[in-house]
Amino acid sequence: MRSVPPTRLRSLTVLTAVLLPALALSGTAAGATPDGRGHGHKPVRLSGVSPFAGCAPGALDGKMADGAIEPQLAADPGNPRRIAAVWPQGRQRGVVLAVTRDGGTSWKRTVVPHLTRCSGGRYDYVDEPAVTFTADGALLVTGGLAMADGSASAGLSIRSDDGGRTWTRPAVIIEETDRARGRVASGPAVADPRDPDVLYVVTPRFPAAERTRNDAWISRSTDGGRSWSTPVKVNRTSTGIPLPNQQAFTVALAVGDDGTVVVSHTDFRHNDTGEALLTDRWLAHCRPGPADCTSDTATWRETRLTPTSYDMRRAPRIPDEASPRGYFLGERMGLVATGRGFTAAWAVPEAPGGAAVHASAS
């Protein structure tokens, strides 16, 4: 089994930023009532009829969840009543954005364009889209895209400076067209609070069938998400241990007030030949200096978050083909900057088939 070498990927192509009209959805704005307004603290429905229903089915539609799934939220740091939500819909054939300017009383939906073939883009499916407000109030949507035949995958970002009415063309964060190297994706973008033009994003790499190793990579934008640096590997997991124990997964990202970049992840580096699958949670941190945190010469240091290893084989198990198979504690874990400090949250097995959430501040 071949591993992914911790070297720089090939140069990435960045598309020219051209303003394009948003694809507005027909009907009333999203809400619990015809006028799109909720009442008190009653839940407000954000999603409506799939805007991708008229798009030709894809080859993997039968393996994708129907409806609107895995929503992600972001609040404008300059105006907390301005909130955005994003989710994949229509068997993950496209991305829908909903924005409120009144703290959630009323919402307006729009399709995020040029990501999938059902929204004027290239790729067939989208996975785990996320939304971020930049420090200057722009919206940035990131997500993992893939072709149904496995011929290509990518992490892309797309930016709107007017609340979702118009969008730049998507920018490539990471792209892979070699099936032997597996597939790539993108996590949520995190803005540097010191500079509105600086954002970071983690770019997971998933192994091909013949390999068992995942790594965490990071990329940086210095122009508000319009272009991205070549991703570099972040996790410090040793390459001198058995390959299955080297994988890093459930990656999270945060940036502190002083510019420190922190990435948390899980790995099996302490696993041995015993019956238990020994697992740990880690915090890697880098403070930009002469070399920024996305350069090959950056210094990343690690802190072990789990005092003792836990046994992943005691975690809940999901055998469904449409879900992550095997022992599962979640696809993402929590990480947030608290000024110059950070708080991480993660799930661990509590009893066979159960789990509990733990947190640690640093």
Tens-place pLDDT, residues 104-154: 889 999 999 999 999 999 999 999 899 999 988 999 999 999 999 999 999
Give the model's pLDDT for residue 2: 27
**Is the predicted pLDDT of residue 347 greater than 50, yes or no?**
yes
Using pLDDT thresholds of 50, 70 and 90, give the confidence band for residue 18. Answer: very low
Nearest to 68 by CA among 92, 84, 52: 92
Order across the sheet with 199-202: list the strands. 189-191, 199-202, 217-221, 232-233
pTM comes to 0.81
Question: Going edge to edge, which strands form the sheet with 23-24?
Answer: 23-24, 108-112, 94-100, 79-89, 72-76
Mean of pLDDT values over 31-48: 58
**Residues above pLDDT 90, as percent of the chain:** 56
Boundaries of every domain in the chain: 13-233, 246-362
Cβ burial, residue 110 (10 Å; 0-12/13-18/19+): buried
- Our CA angle for 206, 210, 214, nearest 5°, is 25
pLDDT at 43: 75
Burial of residue 49 (CB within 10 Å: 0-12, 13-18, 19+) is: exposed
| Residue-level pLDDT at 204 | 83
Which residue has better confidence, 88 or 327?
88
What topology is assigned to 13-233 in CATH?
Answer: Tachylectin-2; Chain A (2.115.10)
